[in-house]
Structure formats: C-alpha cells, structure tokens
Structure 1
Amino acid sequence: MTRKYFGTDGIRGLVGEFPITPDFMLKLGWAAGCVLMDRFAGPNMILIGKDTRISGYMFESALQAGLINAGVDVGLLGPMPTPGVAYLTRTFQAQAGIVISASHNSYVDNGIKFFSGNGTKLPDDIELLIEEQLEKPMITAERLGKARRITDASGRYIEFCKGTMPWGFSLQGLQIVLDCAHGATYNIAPSVFTELGAKVVPLFVEPNGTNINRSCGSTKPEALQEHVVEVGADLGIAFDGDGDRVIFVDHKGELVDGDELLYIIAAHQQQYGGGCEGVAGTLMSNFGFELGLKELGVPFGRAKVGDRYVIEMMRDKGWSLGGENSGHIVCSNVTTTGDGIISALQVLLAITTLGVPLHKAKKGMQKLPQTMINVHMAKRIDVNGDPTIQNAVAQIEAKLAGTGRVLLRPSGTEPVVRVMVEGQNKNQVKELAQELASVVETVLN
C-alpha cells in the first residue's frame, strides 16, 4: 500500500510533500487516538513532547485537542529530546508517545514521530491504520480525555541517563564543551554531564523558537570546534535539534563522527564488555570503519540509511550496537532508540576505561576519504534507474578501479539527493564526486 503521510521517520510534511497545518494535526491526533485506544491495552494516555521550534506550541495544542476528542488523556512533556519521549512512554506505560520535531532541519520545518508503548517506532500496520482513520470523518468520543502537564519529565530523564552508567562512574577532571543546538537538550544535557562530575561549558542553550540548529549543532559544528580549542577543553559534544544525534570534537578541534564513535564503543565492548556481537552500519558508513571492525574481530553489516533499518538489522542479527555516520547511534543494551546523550556517555565510558584521550581512541580505525554533495531535487525521479545517471556512475566506478565505491541516495527528510564517492585518493574522490554531482544536477533540474 502506498503511504500518503508516513515515511521512514514519521510524518513527512516537513519536506513539503504536503503541508502540515493545525487542522491536519487536530485530525491526526484524533485518528491516532482512535487507533491506539482500540489496539493497545494499558493506561488511557498518550505523551506529547517537542523540540524548541516555535511552531511546536501551535501543533502541540492541535494534537492534544484531537487526542482529547478521541477520548484519550494527554501527558504534556514540554521540550524534551526525542529519546526522552521514548523513555518516558515506557516509564508511564502510556499507549504511545508523540514527538513534534524536524530534527536537524531549520525552524521553519516541523514533523511528527510516534513511539509505541515500549519505546520503539510504531509498527507499519499501526501507521497504515492511522492513515486509514485520517480519511474518515472525525467523531467526538462520548467520554472526552483530559490533559495534564508532567512537571518532573526533565528530571526523570536526567536520572535515567545518569543511571545507564556503572556504579561509581565519574567524569571528574574532564572539561567538556556542550553544543545543544538551541534545541531539546538545552536544559537537560548540561545537567547530566555536570552531575556526573564534568566541568561543562554550555554553548547554544538559549532557544527562542527560531534559532534551533542555526549555525550550531551536530550538522554545523564549526563554532564548537573553535571553542574547544579556545578554552583548552578535553573534548566537545554536539547534539542535533531533537537530541537523537551526537558528534564529538577532540582536544585538537578535529571532528569525530558517528562511524568513529561506534568504533570506540565497539572496541571498548570487545575488550571490557564481554565482547561485541556485531555492529549494524548503513550504506553511508565509511569503508575504513568496516576494516577497523574487522581487525577487532567484530562482525559488520550495512542496512539502508535510516535508524528504522539499522534497528531492524540489529534485531534480526541479535546485535546491540548500530548507527549512522551522522551520529545517530543506537545502544539497545541500554535504551530502545537512538539517543545522543546516552551515546555520548557510552563513548566517555569507553575512553575513560581505555585510559586514552579521544584523539587517540579514534585512531584505531582509518577513514577512507569520502566526499558527499547534496544536490537539490526539483522533481522526484528514480536516480538509480535513470540511464544518464547510471552511465555516469559506471564511468566513475571505472575510474576508481575497485579501490572505492559510489552511492546515490535521496534524502528522507530533505528535497535532495546525496551523491557520495569514497576511495583512497582524497583529491580524486573530490573531483569524481563533483563530476557525478554535476550530472545528477543536470538531470534533476
């Protein structure tokens, strides 16, 4: 069945496939409430959290009105990282959790993510039932629901994050610069790391509704890199707007991406955690990451890009570690979904146990040069089926002569196609990526 509303990461209105309006949100709340009440037992409650973008207030009000109209009680969490909503949904044994967020996008976008009562993404069949319900006329329930604000939501999540660390774990002596992207982690992450003993230098923790992800956060870490070096910190940590992604900066100001962070966690598990069963990466994972894991004796698999597919592979193979080079890391031995704060803590546990600075810990793997160019997509076509594009791909692969790889992937959250070339020679990789991107640009626009 072709989906009209749901994509691989929730409601896709944030990329312009259809406008998300207050009227739609009202209807969505009612439809989701009807389906979830019918399918799941337990407390008659659904939680709503959001990031800090200004449209979240309007959409939160519309969503809760729709849920109340379906007879559902609503728990309002306020600004809360996406993984925090997943955790609290489990804690309160709610029927579901809803996140209003457009992740790393700018404030003008917004979207919706759903979590089931066990803190995982909603099953496909439930999403399809919600889509079917959206097409029906809205009817008011005989018993209306009620809404209440959960005032201790942040404190509960902070304690959960700290509780994932071993007894006696301390960050005493570490100076850490935290870039919270003016997003959902702004009032939570500094508390977590400070209470664990670190000296925290907070950056971008003053959200105003329109500055989320603006020249900051995990997708734009330049200011963090400069600040780490300027203050002489041991390392820096950057989250995205909704707090499910994380990247690091070492004391030299060098970026440490998701592949390298996953490698560090896997190396620690292999040496001190009783072994690492395997790691699920994606088609975008660096080939050097795969080689590094092979040297550790850790199995590796590539899933399609997207945390849903990574988690599926982890579940199928019985692995507890996976993620993407963007910094979306899943540690299922600790929590149910990608969590920037918890992933950061797992990295810090690794380097403190290994007794090495971050700069040295990441050297266990050597990344191959990789260039990715985002090409705007004015019209949707099958880039992997277009003959002109595929002929260009074949020519690029011939020039790489088996020493690299090429990947074309339409984004799931933005109207762009990601053109990636990877190989041994940095200059060649850059030139070939630009050459292929030019062809893709011509075809798409």
Structure 2
Amino acid sequence: MLDINKIRADFPILSKKVNGKPLVYFDNGATSQKPQVVIDAISKYYQEINANIHRGVHTLSQLATDAYEASRGKIQNHINAKFAHEVLFTSGTTHGINLVTNGFASILKPGDEVLVSALEHHSNIVPWQMLCEKTGAILRVIPMNQEGELIMSEYDKLLSDKTKVVTVNHISNALGTVNPIKYMIDEAHKFGAAVLIDGAQAVPHLKPDVQELDCDFYAFSGHKMCGPTGTGILYGKEAWLNKLPPYQGGGEMIKEVTFEKTTYAELPHKFEAGTPNIAGGIVLGTAVDYMNEIGFENIQNQELELLRYGTQRLLEIEGLKIFGTAKEKTSVISFNIEGIHPYDIGTIIDKLGIAVRTGHHCAQPIMNFFCIPGTIRASFAFYNTKEEIDVMVEAVKKAQLMLS
C-alpha cells in the first residue's frame, strides 16, 4: 500500500490553493506534476555541472556527458531496450513520431499503406497524413466501437502485403482505453510491416518492455511521468534506426564533413543533432528513478482504485454519460452532462480549485465518432485521492445546478 500523504508531500504544487480553494489536480493526462527531487535535480545541474556534452575535454563537459549518458542507460533499463544506442533523446512524443515519419519518406512508395487507429492523438495522425501526401502512400483507419475499443476483426482485414507501417497508441489520451498492442504488433509483423507505438499516455502508468512487445518504435514524453517538459524518448530497433536517414543536419550527428560529402555519426548521435536539452535529459532519469522507487505495480493499483471509485461516484449524477468504457482501461474518465457544454462545467469547477481538461483533447476524430464537441476529462495520477474525487463530484453537481 502506498503512503499517499507521504507521496503528496513530495509534490510542492499539491499544497497550492487555486481561487482560494485547495488545488485538486485532475489534468494528469496533459502533464504530471513534478516531485521535489526532480525540481532539485534541475537546479543542481545548472549550479554544478552546466556544460555542453560530447564535445569538451574539460571537467564540466565530461561530468555533464557522463550524467546525460547515465540517464540514457537508466531509460534503456527501464524499457528493456537491447542497446543504449536504441534510445534517442527527443523533445517529446511528437518529435519522436515526426523523426520516424521523416525517415519513412525515403522508404514508402505510391500505393503502400499506413494503418492508423481511430483512437489516435493528432500527433499520431497528422505526421502520417503529411507522409502519405508526400509519398503517395494511403492512410487507412482501424475503426473503433461504442465502448472506445479498436475492432480487432476489422484490423485483421486491413492488414495486407501493402501494409508498410502500423501506428497506434498504447493508451488513448481521450478515453483511457488500453489497446491490445502485443497482438497488433505480432499480426503486423506477419506482413513485414513496421510498428510504432505512441506510449505518451502509457508510461505514467506502466513499464513498457520493448523487447517483449517486439515493437519497432516506441515514443513517449518525459513530462507526463514526473519529468521536465521538453523531454522525450524514441526507442527504435537498431536495424530500423540504421536504415532511416537522419532527421536533422548539424553538429554532433556527423562523422566527417567536407563541402563535397558528409558522413554521419553512429547511433544514437545520428539522430541527435545540435545541443540537446541536457538538463532535461539528465533529470528525466531522475524522474524514472523516482517512479520506479514508488513501484509501477503500486502505481497501477492506486490508479485503478481511483478509476473504479471515480466512475462509481460520477455515475451518481443524473444525466452524466461516460465516454470510453473499454474492458481494459486506465485512470481516465471522459464525461459529459446532458444539455451542458463541457467547457462551461470546466470553467465553473476551476473556480472551486479543480483542474480538469475540457475539449476534444487533440483527438477530434474520436469526438466526431461520438457526435459531440468534446468532453470533460478527469485523469488521475498515483498522488491523487478518493477525497479529491468527492470534492470534484460535489463541484460538478454544483455546476450542473447553476447551468441547468
């Protein structure tokens, strides 16, 4: 069992008041809060070892380089990558996905097919649309059902020898659905397709094992798992990363430059042009350490209990409908109240100190499927409590009375 009071004390912002009320932070799907150990690690880097990496013989540069590469090693172990050079530092999930789509621009041909799911965030739709427009490939959509689950029988029908890439999120940011990615990866590989998993919403809740999954690419952001903003990871199998061309040109990603020809550095530096977010990369390792210390089994148990309790309490409200009722689901509840715009509910409960997300959550195709403008999304983290859920439920009831 987690000592929630002790954990909450690790997060300075959780003691903050908003509009004179104690903060209830239920927007963890957008970004998580940061523990003091992460905040301190950022300050420590700039105070003690701030220097550019990989380029200097002086002591600070070597210290910064060692810390940065140690963080890469931590993340390699965390996701069980085979090699450290399969772990690329990025600015976030979006950066990682765009890196891959840019590489596939030299591989895809007219008539090739890319399968994307109906549950995707815009960041895992738009780059593939741009790629298809550039190459003449065709984008096909894996459909979903009313529960917010992908329809696997339809997925099976879509797969063919024309399928070159399958891209799907591990967990839906809008609905909380946990997708059957192991099955999807295995089936795609039967046709020789590469598979990219958008893990942005998964890594706060679980430890992905990229070798067990056998995915070709796995992208995620640091800021959703207690790390700094502007940080992320793209895992790629060594063979694929060697096959793809560099995403950006510049310093660090080169082996030799002349005006006649440039040769590229070995992995991972081939994809890490320029000065990176050094502090962020180092401190992402600190965040991974922090979450592993708490334990992902403990995190999952706490969050699933919050999901169960929050669902039960919210359904007590007359006229409330939850969107996303998949059998496999994480701690996200998207809901609306009949006759009331989600933005209006969100605005009123903010006055009571409650932070939720309203709108389409960068997942407009999902909202179009349900014929709604958006939802109110409450997304819970391991540091949240049932008492906070009670506060939110009472606030939603109050907003409903005001707006009816």
TM-score by length of 2: 0.29
TM-score by length of 1: 0.27
Higher RCO structure, 1 or 2 (CA under 8 Å, sep 6+): 2
